[in-house]
Structure 1
Amino acid sequence: MGSVLCDKCALLFCKFKLRFRNICKEVAHEIAVFFTELAKCTCLSTATPKRRKRRASNHLVLPLLKTVESPLPVSFMEPLMSLLLSTHPDVQKTTCLSLVNLLVKRNVCEELVFEMGMLPPLLEMIRGGDPGARCHACACVTMLASSESNSDALVSEGVIPLLVLAKSYDPQVQQNAAWVLLNLTQSVRSRRVLCRAGAVPVLVVLLQCSDSRVQFYGCSALVNLAADPEHHARLLHIGERYLLKCLLTLMCSPVHKNACQACKCLQILCRNVVVQDQLLELDYVWPLKMLLSSSVLECVQSALRLLSTLTAHPAFHEVLVSEGVFDVIGQMLQHHRSSCDVIVHSCITVHSLSCTCLGQQALMESECLPGLLRALVSPVTPVEALIRLTSCLYHLMSFDFGAVLSGSELETEVMRLSARTEETRQLLSMTGILPASFQEP
């Protein structure tokens, strides 16, 4: 049968064949040079020829694992296992990194890694390996936790040893273990595995650790657990309201992100009626007011979200009003009125707390109402917050607001604001705050 290729294409194939053969010769030459130079190194000179050959093969395997793109045959995993058991820090680090890449690219299945017994040496590296190897080993364990079919193996071989490491006196070991535990709370299945293994008490204890990173990891993990109501019973099972006390203490932390996470965790938990009852028995107002008075916007926003969640439940109203929350909100609005989040949650809180006679009276006597008025006409108030602000002030007009205005300093404030611009006057008129006698220029 004659060739189906034309002369031009046949010539191209011949050139490609010759070029490919030359490339293979060059690669073979480079490999020969590589092993020749490697054999001269003093780090291999004390080993036997057989051991030198094994070490060289191991180093060659590692670069290959970094670039592999297709599923890895099972036979290639055996050398990887022996490399994980190496005591050389560079080999540990590179091997763990290679395993991470293989897991990320799905070149190897998590079940096979478990079956070959790779989890124990990874946990050993977290306990006492090279800093780089520790980091990569943590990533490996996190990737292995994503396998749906390894729940039992993860509990017996992974989670329980990690919980032990999380209580280590070595700060770095404790940080790494807490970080892995946090990553394990990212999925619904892993959260259930953790709770069954007894992770909740360990995570709660981490809130009182002297290391701020460990505190953050532990609190963030609890935030993820609290997102599932099915875990609330375990979270609240620790006696004497221990979790709530720890979260309130963490709200006073000088580390802003830790205080914010504690607020977030409490906010989620407060949807539970049991938590509401327990919190009422604790001094929760003081740390809340402290964060509301912070100069850090992130802390103020977190505290306001928690406050607006609490005010959705009437049981908290009396304590919050009597503790002067309105004054704190008024002072806060002077510094953070450019934040839409601050305005919105302030309005939600004021609307809720002003639904009782006690709340209405406290509002009229506080700095909160002038703060809302100034925010209404402030040039830095976000446009998207004006609707919520106007609605809140309109709601407040259902009270005897005119009697409070008459002859007060607030009346002077309203007149001054109304004289600023026509737009300001329209906003005040829209809310019903501006009396008829003030509406004409």
Structure 2
Amino acid sequence: MGQLCGRCMQLLRDFVAFVQRMSSDLVHGIKECLILISKCSCLKQNSSKTRQLYKPILQPHERVTAQEFLQHIETGFEMSPLGKDPLEALRTLAFSENPGLQQSAALYYLHMSEHMNIPLPVEHLEPFYALLRSADLEVQQMSSLSLVNFLLEGHKSNREAIGAARGVTPLLSLAKSYDPRVQQNAVGAILNLTQSEKIQQVLCKEGALPVLSLLLESPDSEVQYYSCAALSNVAANIQHHKGLLGGGDRFLLRTLISLLSSSVNKVSSQACVCLRNLAVSADIQAEMVAENVLPKLCSLLASGSEDVRRASIALLWILSQHPHNQDTLACAELMQSLGMLLLVHKTDPVIVGHSACIIKNLSLSKNRQRIMESRCVEGLLQTMLSTDTQEDSLGYVTSCLAELAKQEGATLHMVQWMDEHLTKCLVRLAGHLEHTETSFQAASIIQHMIGHEKMMLLCKHHIGEIQAYLENFLTHREIRFQQLGISTFCRLQEDPEFSLAFRKSQMAKLLEQVRQQTEETQELLKAAICHEDS
């Protein structure tokens, strides 16, 4: 091993000093605790014969154990699992009826949870469970916080160990605590446990779902958020939906919908996530729409929080997929909200992609006119001009516009918004054959709009680019590209300038090749049909 440089030596000294400081703080805390215990009247012999309330008595062996445990820490506290004798001392403190001694044990676990990056040893679990069941508020606070730390990301083995039934039961009791800190820690620990599908089974079996559902109505927004996030994790597994949605009154569904109106962004956002995870069937989606969820979601679309906007648009996308909901969703309020959302957040791929999908789903309904009356088309067109728009989002946008362009009224509306920049963008997208769907849909939009004089005039500035992508379409291996290329060629050929350009190009030769291939294909099909008939 080489010689350490001066900087590394100083870092090492700083680390040693830090460990010594932390050890000193722990020892000091335990000393103070033991001093307070020693001064308590419960340790003094009382000669009074009168009946008194029960107070835990410090047994002689507990006094010795506490002293030995303290001595062990004073002689050299290391952040590693305790040896056999100190571990027995820790068990004695944890199972003691004296809250002061339990606090010392809880303090040790808290320190361990904050500074040990190794799995919690199995032999430490039993005394830890005892602390979780303590009636002392400070012990509950420290041990529940320790549990949250032990269950953080990267400590999967701790979740598997603590998530057994013996660990879940005291957690559910602590989740009902009247102390905000204890309740927050307990529900936060349950949230961390729900990251494991295996532990979700244990939680459901031990009755966690009704507890978490009731905690959604807590006045504490942190408890609401942790409970909602835990339920979202469980709801991501469809096998738990029966337990989550059981009961005739749909308590969970109604409570989650009410939380959409929460003034705390992370609560309303998480409520959207949980509802989205639950909305896997048409019946549940219909129930959500019937519970007047739409006005709340429209309000959330205008939120200043990115998470809230994204969560609400994702839920709306799920709801828009079922035909039964489309007439209700295709209201003027939602169309206006989506249009403004696209214009304001045209670089957000989640907003753009989901909005385009929602508009396309709703364009299949009889309320298509409301889309035209809103700013949705303008918003969709403007997103194409953003250089930050991701390819997936562009695909959804062009697909939606191509669907709308099939209707003459919508095509006319789209032409009104077209200008030089948008035309250039559409032609460029149509020429990007490496992005198959975006290319095809962009070309389809152009094909539908060139029947209008304004669009034909705009396209004349891009004769070369249009001719190039049409030639590629005619030689494309997919028949749909060939057909789109031919139909576009036929429309453009009616214009003298395009017709002249096509005569000077290889277009006629390519068309002849397509004709010959088509004839050959037809002959092969005839032969195949005749062979099958015989």
TM range (shorter): 0.7 to 0.9
Residues 114 and 149, structure 2, Cα contact 8 Å, conserved in 1: no
| Counterparts of residues 289-368 of structure 1 (less than 5 Å) | 289-322=298-331, 324-356=333-365, 358-368=366-376
- Residue 278 of structure 2 corresponds to residue 244 of structure 1: no
Report the counterpart of residue 9 of structure 1 in structure 2.
Answer: none
Report the counterpart of residue 196 of structure 2 in structure 1.
Answer: 187
| Counterparts of residues 4-23 of structure 1 (less than 5 Å) | none
Residues 348 and 389, structure 2, Cα contact 8 Å, conserved in 1: yes
- Residue 100 of structure 2 corresponds to residue 87 of structure 1: yes
Q: Percent of aligned positions with the same letter in both sequences?
A: 28
- Residue 459 of structure 2 corresponds to residue 439 of structure 1: yes
Please report how far the alpha carbon of residue 292 of structure 1 lies from its aligned counterpart in structure 2 after TM superposition. Answer: 1.1
Counterpart-to-counterpart distance in 2, 1:139 and 1:217: 15
Report the counterpart of residue 17 of structure 1 in structure 2.
Answer: none
User: Given the superposition, is the C-alpha separation of residues 279 and 135 from structure 1 closer, same or farther in structure 2, using an over 3 Å criterion?
Assistant: same
Please report how far the alpha carbon of residue 53 of structure 1 lies from its aligned counterpart in structure 2 after TM superposition. Answer: 6.5
Residues 302 and 337, structure 2, Cα contact 8 Å, conserved in 1: yes
- DSSP 3-state at the match of 2:288: helix
- Residue 69 of structure 2 corresponds to residue 58 of structure 1: yes
User: Given the superposition, is the C-alpha separation of residues 130 and 264 from structure 1 closer, same or farther in structure 2, using an over 3 Å criterion?
Assistant: closer
Q: Which amino acid aligns with 1:371?
A: G
Residues 126 and 135, structure 1, Cα contact 8 Å, conserved in 2: no
Residues 110 and 145, structure 2, Cα contact 8 Å, conserved in 1: no
User: Given the superposition, is the C-alpha separation of residues 331 and 101 from structure 1 closer, same or farther in structure 2, using an over 3 Å criterion?
Assistant: closer
Please report how far the alpha carbon of residue 229 of structure 1 lies from its aligned counterpart in structure 2 after TM superposition. Answer: 1.2
Report the counterpart of residue 173 of structure 2 in structure 1.
Answer: 164
Q: Give a deviation string over 1:192-223, Cα, whole Å, max 9, x none.
A: 11111211111111111111000000000100
Counterpart-to-counterpart distance in 2, 1:419 and 1:228: 46
Counterpart-to-counterpart distance in 1, 2:325 and 2:345: 25
Residues 171 and 211, structure 1, Cα contact 8 Å, conserved in 2: yes
TM-score by length of structure 2 reads 0.64
Q: Which amino acid aligns with 2:190?
A: L
Counterpart-to-counterpart distance in 2, 1:192 and 1:391: 41
Extract unaligned runs of 5+ from structure 2.
Answer: 1-26, 45-59, 431-441, 462-534
Q: Which amino acid aligns with 2:88?
A: E
Q: Give a deviation string over 1:222-267, Cα, whole Å, max 9, x none.
A: 0011011111111011331211111111111111111111111111
- DSSP 3-state at the match of 2:100: coil
Counterpart-to-counterpart distance in 2, 1:303 and 1:107: 39
Of 372, 377, 389, the residue aligned with 2:397 is 389
| Counterparts of residues 111-260 of structure 1 (less than 5 Å) | 112-114=123-125, 116-124=126-134, 127-129=137-139, 131-132=141-142, 134-139=144-149, 146=158, 154-155=164-165, 157-260=166-269
Of 254, 262, 266, the residue aligned with 2:271 is 262
- DSSP 3-state at the match of 2:296: helix
Counterpart-to-counterpart distance in 1, 2:128 and 2:156: 10
Please report how far the alpha carbon of residue 141 of structure 1 lies from its aligned counterpart in structure 2 after TM superposition. Answer: 8.0
Please report how far the alpha carbon of residue 165 of structure 1 lies from its aligned counterpart in structure 2 after TM superposition. Answer: 2.5
Please report how far the alpha carbon of residue 352 of structure 1 lies from its aligned counterpart in structure 2 after TM superposition. Answer: 1.2
Counterpart-to-counterpart distance in 2, 1:148 and 1:137: 13
User: Given the superposition, is the C-alpha separation of residues 59 and 99 from structure 1 closer, same or farther in structure 2, using an over 3 Å criterion?
Assistant: same
Moved more, 321-330 or 133-142: 133-142
Q: Which amino acid aligns with 1:214?
A: V
Please report how far the alpha carbon of residue 412 of structure 1 lies from its aligned counterpart in structure 2 after TM superposition. Answer: 4.1
Report the counterpart of residue 77 of structure 1 in structure 2.
Answer: 87
Report the counterpart of residue 518 of structure 2 in structure 1.
Answer: none
Q: Give a deviation string over 1:50-74, Cα, whole Å, max 9, x none.
A: 98865443123346896265x7554
Please report how far the alpha carbon of residue 366 of structure 1 lies from its aligned counterpart in structure 2 after TM superposition. Answer: 1.7
Please report how far the alpha carbon of residue 287 of structure 1 lies from its aligned counterpart in structure 2 after TM superposition. Answer: 0.9
Q: Which amino acid aligns with 2:225?
A: F
- DSSP 3-state at the match of 1:338: coil
Q: Give a deviation string over 1:258-291, Cα, whole Å, max 9, x none.
A: 1111111111110134422422431110111111
Q: Which amino acid aligns with 1:81?
A: R
- DSSP 3-state at the match of 2:292: coil
User: How many corresponding residue pairs?
Assistant: 389
Q: Which amino acid aligns with 2:219?
A: S
User: Given the superposition, is the C-alpha separation of residues 360 and 95 from structure 1 closer, same or farther in structure 2, using an over 3 Å criterion?
Assistant: same
- DSSP 3-state at the match of 2:328: helix
Residues 292 and 303, structure 1, Cα contact 8 Å, conserved in 2: yes
Q: Give a deviation string over 1:377-410, Cα, whole Å, max 9, x none.
A: 24554565333322322232222246633xxxx6
RMSD: 3.7
User: Given the superposition, is the C-alpha separation of residues 66 and 395 from structure 1 closer, same or farther in structure 2, using an over 3 Å criterion?
Assistant: farther
Residues 364 and 404, structure 1, Cα contact 8 Å, conserved in 2: no
- DSSP 3-state at the match of 1:252: coil
Structure scoring higher RCO (CA < 8 A, sep ≥ 6) equals 1
Of 396, 402, 420, the residue aligned with 1:418 is 420
Extract unaligned runs of 5+ from structure 1.
Answer: 1-33
- DSSP 3-state at the match of 2:267: helix
Please report how far the alpha carbon of residue 43 of structure 1 lies from its aligned counterpart in structure 2 after TM superposition. Answer: 7.5
- DSSP 3-state at the match of 1:377: coil
- Residue 385 of structure 2 corresponds to residue 398 of structure 1: no
Report the counterpart of residue 527 of structure 2 in structure 1.
Answer: none
Q: Give a deviation string over 1:300-336, Cα, whole Å, max 9, x none.
A: 1111111111112212111101353222100111211
Counterpart-to-counterpart distance in 2, 1:50 and 1:199: 39
Counterpart-to-counterpart distance in 1, 2:257 and 2:208: 21
Q: Which amino acid aligns with 1:344?
A: G
Q: Which amino acid aligns with 2:337?
A: V
Residues 126 and 134, structure 1, Cα contact 8 Å, conserved in 2: no
Q: Which amino acid aligns with 1:59?
A: L
- DSSP 3-state at the match of 1:294: coil
Counterpart-to-counterpart distance in 2, 1:251 and 1:137: 30
Please report how far the alpha carbon of residue 436 of structure 1 lies from its aligned counterpart in structure 2 after TM superposition. Answer: 1.7
Q: Which amino acid aligns with 2:188?
A: W
Q: Which amino acid aligns with 2:260?
A: M
Residues 185 and 191, structure 1, Cα contact 8 Å, conserved in 2: yes
Counterpart-to-counterpart distance in 2, 1:265 and 1:174: 21
